[in-house]
Amino acid sequence: MKLLTKVTLVAISISAVSAQAFASVPEVVNAKLWDHGGQMGISTDVSTVRAGKIDFEVVNDSKALVHEMLVVKVNSYDDALPYDNKDAKIIEDETVDFGEVSELEPGQSGNLTVNLKPGKYMLICNMPGHYKSLMYSDLLVTK
């Protein structure tokens, strides 16, 4: 009986340490910025992540255009973001943004690590005209 108790305690201790280590590992979102055939977009390998440290690995898959990726908090995916028609861009100062991987040349990649709370976020390209060309992706952050 004592052996079983020691084995059980060791297993519980290992489980607790593993759970802590797992909790500190950042979530990873692989994002591809693309354009072809007159269309643009941001594709991600996941649409939902757990709150905490999020590592965005971003690649500009374009052959000709510069793209970027901003992380913006939204209340609803249907809400209009503040937009400057003259510059054809989101007004970044009027959003709750958590950083960006800015101005990636074709074929370049970059990364961004941020701490996100539960909520709705959008990943957007804010190069002139790109957001209005549907170059964005929704991201849900859960508890």
Q: What is the dihedral of CA 41, 47, 53, 58, to 10 degrees?
A: -30
Count: domains in the chain: 1
Q: Are strands 89-90 and 52-60 parallel, antiparallel or unpaired?
A: unpaired
Distance CA 35, CA 42 (A): 9
User: What residues make up the domain containing 38?
Assistant: 27-142
Helix/strand/coil for 12:
helix
In this predicted structure, what is the pLDDT of residue 10? Answer: 47
In a domain, 52, yes or no: yes
Note whether 119 and 73 are within 8 A (CB).
yes
Structure tokens at 102: 């800015």
In a domain, 10, yes or no: no
The pTM is what?
Answer: 0.82
| pLDDT over threshold 60, residue 17 | no
CA 81 to chain CA centroid, Å, is: 17
| pLDDT over threshold 70, residue 19 | no
| pLDDT over threshold 50, residue 18 | no
Sign of CA dihedral 76, 89, 96, 46: positive
In a domain, 90, yes or no: yes
User: At 95, which CATH number?
Assistant: 2.60.40.420
Give the residue with greater pLDDT, 19 vs 95.
Answer: 95
